[in-house]
Each structure stands twice: as structure tokens, then as C-alpha cells.
Amino acid sequence: MGKVILTRGEKCPHCGHRYLRNIAVDAVAVRDGKVVLIKRGNEPQKGFWALPGGLLDWDEDDREAVLRELEEETGLTGKLGRFVGIYSDPKRDTFQRVTIVYEVLVSEEALRASDDALDAKWFSFDKLPRLAADHNRIIEDYKSTG
């Protein structure tokens, strides 16, 4: 096997690992005892329900990013609530993203799927579908620290 030179973010053709791990944010967006989920429009796990979120932009902090991602994917705005946690298990998704999670307290606005979300809906915490990556664990952590 010859030497493989990877560019930033490129997947190794032999092992499938990436040259770097991206930092993402996810929102546990809540109102009236419910949480908003989006149906993923992109891989990994396209078609699965998930917390709204995405990658940090250049020159953006995590708190700005979580509010931006929530609005881009759902049309919702809100204010930051509590810090939920950092999730860095390399097995959490195939891209090995590290995610920083915040609660977002949503104001009264119309929910709509946009950007890379196929759908967006409010769910009761006791009637959640199976979620992408480790999002079920994130929600359990959120509920246990409330």
C-alpha cells in the first residue's frame, strides 16, 4: 500500500476515516413540554429524525451557531437556555463530529422545514421516534439534568 496524502476533511480510501473531526452544534429546542426534531436531508443517516444542528461557520462561536442552525432548519428563533453537553464519541456518527449541545427556549413562531431538513415537527418527550446518531442519548441527558 502506497502513501496516502489526504486533504483536510477528505476520507481515507483504505480505512474510511477523515483527516479531521468537525465541530457541530445541536439544539434541544423546547416549548410547552415538546421538542422540535428535523428529518435529515443529508448523510449520515438521511431520512432519520434528529435535533436541529450543523457545523460551526468560520469566525462563529457555538452559541451563535446553534441559534443560526435552528433558524435555518426550522424557521424558529429563541433564546439560549442551559448548556446540555459536549458529545465526542468517535462512533457517534460516521463523520466523527464533535457536537456541542444547548437548550433553546423557542418563542411562538411557525415551524417550517428548510435548508437541509426534509421535515420538521414538534414531538412530546415521551413519544420520540428513534433518532439519528446519539440524539436519543442527548435528549435523555437533557431530561435527567432538568
Residues of the chain predicted below pLDDT 70: 1-2, 4, 8-9, 18-19
Give the single-character DSSP code of 56.
Answer: P
CATH class of 23-144: alpha beta
For residue range 70-106, list pLDDT tens digits in order: 999 999 999 999 999 999 999 998 888 999 999 999 9
**Tell me, what's the pLDDT at 8?**
67
**Tell me, what's the pLDDT at 20?**
74
**Tell me, what's the pLDDT at 122?**
97
The per-residue b/e assignment along 66-104, b for 16 or more CB within 10 angstroms, e otherwise, is bbbbbbebbbbebeebeebeebeeeebbebebebbbbbb
pTM of the predicted model, to two decimals?
0.86
**Tell me, what's the pLDDT at 16?**
74
**Tell me, what's the pLDDT at 13?**
80
Whether 78 contacts 106, CB under 8 Å: yes
Q: E strands along 15-145, which residues?
A: 23-31, 34-40, 49-50, 53-55, 78-87, 98-106, 117-124
Whether 117 contacts 46, CB under 8 Å: no
